Amino acid sequence: MKSAAFSILALLALTAVSCSAQPTPVTPTVAVQSDTKTVATATPEIVASTNTPTGPLGSISGTIKPHPVQQPATSIRVYARQKSTAQVFGIELPIDATTYTISGLPMGTYTVFAWYYPDGAPGAYTSAGVDMVETSSDQLKCSNSLIEIVLTERKPDFQGADIGCWAGNYFIFITPLP
């Protein structure tokens, strides 16, 4: 009787394991600390466009304000997301980089983000006067104060897109196109 009961339990356990959902690959995540909870946000890989842009091209450059605490990252990724197409352009820099330039950008309106990659803090070009997010209200202040950069044929290059406001939740804004 005990053997039959054990066999039934073993069979049920195997059935449960075989019916469970298989893990789905996900994009890398970064934990954003707030005063209420930690929120995982997906982050895109650096996108190299397969379509060669036509027309004039521009660039965005700036400084990377150092994050106030040491990062577990190996590099810094800086992204420019075109507002009208959601296309993401980016570069990867050494962890100790203090400046960046993203070149080859089609004319349009962009927002700029950075991420200490992997597992570090995200930052952005914002109007918020916050260097390091301490609370969820600071995080919202940073996320809601993103500055849009407009590249035009008359002004194709933008300088001064300084990255700060570390640990805001910016990556919800830069989902790349499929």
pLDDT per residue over 56-89, tens digit each?
999 999 999 988 788 889 999 999 999 998 888 9
* Closest C-alpha to 166, from 69, 99, 58: 69
DSSP class of 171: G
CB within 8 Å of 79: residues ≥ 6 apart: 44, 46, 88, 89, 90, 112, 113, 114, 115, 174
- Give the model's pLDDT for residue 11: 43
* Closest C-alpha to 144, from 129, 160, 133, 128: 128
Mapped onto helix, strand or coil, the DSSP state of residue 68 is coil
- Give the model's pLDDT for residue 140: 82
- Give the model's pLDDT for residue 132: 82
Sign of CA dihedral 98, 63, 71, 77: negative
Q: Which amino acid is at 150?
A: V
pTM over cut 0.75: no
Mapped onto helix, strand or coil, the DSSP state of residue 168 is coil
Q: How far apart are CA 175 and CA 87, in angstroms?
A: 8
* Cα angle: 127, vertex 129, 132; to 5 degrees: 115
- The DSSP code sequence of 114-160 is EEEETTS-EEE-BS---SB--SHHHHHHHHTTBPPEEE-SSS-EEE-
User: What structural domains and CATH numbers belong to the chain?
Assistant: 29-173 (2.60.40.10)
Residue at token pair 């982050």: 43
Which residues of the chain fall short of a pLDDT of 70? 1-53, 172-178
